[in-house]
Structure 1
């Protein structure tokens, strides 16, 4: 079996295997969008002689982690033809992808797993609890607001309004741990994936945008694709805007971060909610990741011992001192926090604090070492809504 980066001339092979292995074939603007991302991304193919039998695509993206922007490899469109499954092809594609991401400076990777257990074995871990909700529109409860400050538009009539949407998203993404940064390519992707989406933007008295929603109305459902508010006033105005659709909408469908206790402040917060854990994270290059990591003020030197069976360059001991990280030969065990790459990845992005990992036997350290790491790592829960 030969594993290599695929060329633009092999685009049709990439499309064929995607269409065969997933539920439906891409057509129209969705297919055009996929072709665009094939050009931008790195696709690793597994070949049996001249025949493509498996593939894995790495999308070049960025993510905000505790205020630090990292280059990220978004893993998607992972596929193997059925006759080559359970033969080690997928394992080799993943190993090659880790090497490729490291070479490209993508220090962290995120994917949506078909199986959490499968990708956990290779070092990825769940890191965000997303709350999906089906909200009867009559249960929306906010103080009635004057909606004169709302601007509504769609892709056929955008003018400069889309610039306000992008500015609001960027402000929110830069202050929210775990949010994916959206460049022009990603905004183009959203348009091609949901060309019938509509927007509503909230303006303050000075005419500045403070929030927006991107949404679809299908049958009797109001489907929220984005809900971004920079303050509570903008949030309430957006909910009021949604509520006034009650004559032609019965249910509002959307997502929120589970840790934000969505709807709990309303008069009747009992409606259908479901926690989904469908995104996983992995540090690709520990030394580079730690070197950029925004630790809190360090009171003492920290030592970290990492185990990583599929990215051997990460294995070893790291010394973190004065915001500088260096890899060292060894250190006495009692001075180190010991974690495998799986748990370390979700810990450093903020999924749980260090005491949770220690309780779960996923972190080995003395009480003194645990206390040092508890102070050093920012306590911000991540949010991630990107879909590959």
Structure 2
């Protein structure tokens, strides 16, 4: 089996494998969108002679981690033909994908798993608890009546000026959100191709500056919230007033947010259906480079961490984090074990993005450390739960 970057003349093989392996064949705009990402991603194929029998796409994306923007590899469209399963094809593809991400400076990676245990084997870990909500008409929020400055358009009836403001507002907002993904022009085009029936509103504050936006669809008596971003309570309530103004034509509001958002707390009737899913996983690809960019907090004494990562041997070191967040690799026998935090790459990844705390990972690590060491690690790590809403 030969693992290599897929040349242009084999792109149609990627389409065929995707169409065979996933539930619905791509056609029209969706097929065009997929072809764009074949061309612009690190597209890897497993070849049996001239035939592609397995594939992985690593999309070139950008992600915020505690205020730092990282190049991120979005792993998607992982597939093999059934007659080639059980031969280690995906393992070879995953290892090559990780090497390619490292070479491309993508120190972190995100994927949507079809099997959590499968991707845990390769070092990815859960990092976001998503709250899906269904609000029946009797529980629609009521924030009074007033005339709000909102402007509406859709992909079908486009307003380029307002759409430009929304795109800029979105990324400015994400810059301050842990775990969020920056959307470039190509990503917005992807959303348009995949969800062409989307409508938008932009909310403007008293200074006539955009302070929030909503992307939504209305279908089968459902008001489906796709994006909801607001700066401050005034913007949030104004957007909810717009949503509930559709009360005569919809029966339910559905959407998703972060479990950490305390969603619905300010509603008159906050008792409605909620469901939690865990459908994205994260992995640090290169721990040394990732930690060099990391926004460390208070480092009172040197920190030491030993990582276990059998898939990526370049991560299997004893690392020291010193004053100012300076990261270096240490000799294994230089530090007593009680001062070293021992973690798998899975736990390390979830901890560094804020999903797990030091107290969370210690019982899972299997090794005890000095109480003072644990306290120093707690002070050194930023505290902010991640939220990630994109799919690829």
Which one of 323, 326, 329 corresponds to residue 324 of structure 1?
326
> Which residue of 1 is the match for residue 91 of structure 2?
91
> Which residue of 1 is the match for residue 9 of structure 2?
9
Structure 1: tracts of 5 or more residues without a match: none
* Alpha-carbon distance in 1 for matches of 2:99, 2:112: 20
* Alpha-carbon distance in 2 for matches of 1:159, 1:118: 43
Report the more deviating stretch, 45-54 or 353-362.
353-362
> Which residue of 1 is the match for residue 354 of structure 2?
350
Q: TM-score, normalised by structure 1?
A: 0.98
* Alpha-carbon distance in 1 for matches of 2:339, 2:170: 42
> Which residue of 1 is the match for residue 386 of structure 2?
382
Report the more deviating stretch, 100-109 or 360-369.
360-369
* Alpha-carbon distance in 2 for matches of 1:301, 1:269: 46
* Alpha-carbon distance in 2 for matches of 1:310, 1:133: 38
1:281 Cα deviation (Å)? 0.3
Preserved contact between residue 343 and residue 365 of structure 2 (Cα < 8 Å): no
* Alpha-carbon distance in 1 for matches of 2:138, 2:19: 41
**CA 1:172–1:145: 2 relative to 1, 3 Å:** farther
Q: How does 1:1-388 map to 2 (within 5 A)?
A: 1-155=1-155, 156-321=157-322, 322-330=324-332, 331-361=335-365, 364-388=368-392
SS of residue in 2 equivalent to 1:160: helix
1:145 Cα deviation (Å)? 4.2
SS of residue in 1 equivalent to 2:387: coil
- RMSD across aligned C-alpha pairs, in angstroms? 1.2
**CA 1:140–1:193: 2 relative to 1, 3 Å:** same
Preserved contact between residue 143 and residue 240 of structure 2 (Cα < 8 Å): no
Q: TM-score, normalised by structure 2?
A: 0.97
Structure 2: tracts of 5 or more residues without a match: none
* Alpha-carbon distance in 2 for matches of 1:46, 1:328: 37
**CA 1:36–1:362: 2 relative to 1, 3 Å:** farther
* Alpha-carbon distance in 2 for matches of 1:113, 1:69: 23
SS of residue in 1 equivalent to 2:175: helix
How many residues are matched?
A: 388
1:124 Cα deviation (Å)? 0.4
* Alpha-carbon distance in 2 for matches of 1:362, 1:17: 41
**CA 1:151–1:195: 2 relative to 1, 3 Å:** same
1:363 Cα deviation (Å)? 6.1
1:144 Cα deviation (Å)? 1.6
* Alpha-carbon distance in 1 for matches of 2:66, 2:145: 34
**CA 1:207–1:148: 2 relative to 1, 3 Å:** same
1:332 Cα deviation (Å)? 2.4
1:351 Cα deviation (Å)? 0.3
1:193 Cα deviation (Å)? 1.1
1:138 Cα deviation (Å)? 3.2
